[in-house]
A and B are shown apart, each in its own frame.
Chain A
């Protein structure tokens, strides 16, 4: 089955700087890669996603890149703000999401004011 690895497990950045979180996946058939943000005690919330026919996607301060050959994808947050502090999870699935998501182990991002 699919295996998703995520790094780093914790990340601290100064407010205003950029944060990058990286994930690798094992199943070359995976074609959908969402990112979720989870604040303490709350539900995971979808913040951005990318399909395998696209190499990069951007939504305001958040961007995701995908390298299908290397089987890795990354989340980039620019101009970080205190409210970006949370745990971020990457995930991968087949069939563009209408199959189970396999999650990474999460990155705890702390923005230092």
Chain B
């Protein structure tokens, strides 16, 4: 089991560009979560998805941010027209279906730097 895979590990964008962050959950996991971590701060919840469904997006900024978890392929966190304040580490986590264990496992994160 390869664990939660995120890519890229580091992403540099200029202001106004788009950033796409990818996350492949652990094998057998059907729940994906995205968190953002600013330097010296805790993890802030952004969005919770299951295959083809957004379950909770209460932590997502209303503009420029979107997330998907298609039937096939990884989950994608997309940030349009990035600004310097978007610079952060973005962590994806996955967990098994409900009733099969509650533990959340994190990927290694994507460090986004906006110039």
Contacts and interface: CB of A to CB of B under 8 A. Distances in A.
Interface size class of A (residues with CB under 8 A): 20 to 34
B103 A46 contact: yes
B48 A103 contact: no
Contact of B41 (A49, A98, A106): A106
Contact of A99 (B35, B42, B48): B48
B103 A34 contact: yes
A25 interface: no
A105 interface: yes
Given A98-B31, A100-B33, A46 B42 contact: no
Contacts of A102: 45
Contacts of A95: 98, 102
A96 B102 CA distance: 6
A89 interface: yes
B106 A45 contact: yes
Interface residues of B, number: 24
A61 interface: no
A34 B106 contact: no
A100 B103 contact: no
A1 B105 CA distance: 23
B43 A89 contact: yes
B70 interface: no
B109 interface: yes
Nearest to A2: B45
A38 to B, nearest CB: 9
Interface string B37-62: 00001111100100000001011000
B104 interface: yes
B113 interface: no
Interface of B: 31, 33, 35, 41-45, 48, 56, 58-59, 91, 95, 97-98, 102-109
Interface of A: 1, 6, 32, 34, 36, 42-46, 49, 89, 93, 95-106
Given A98-B95, A103-B42, 5 more contacts: A34-B104, A89-B42, A97-B102, A97-B103, A105-B42
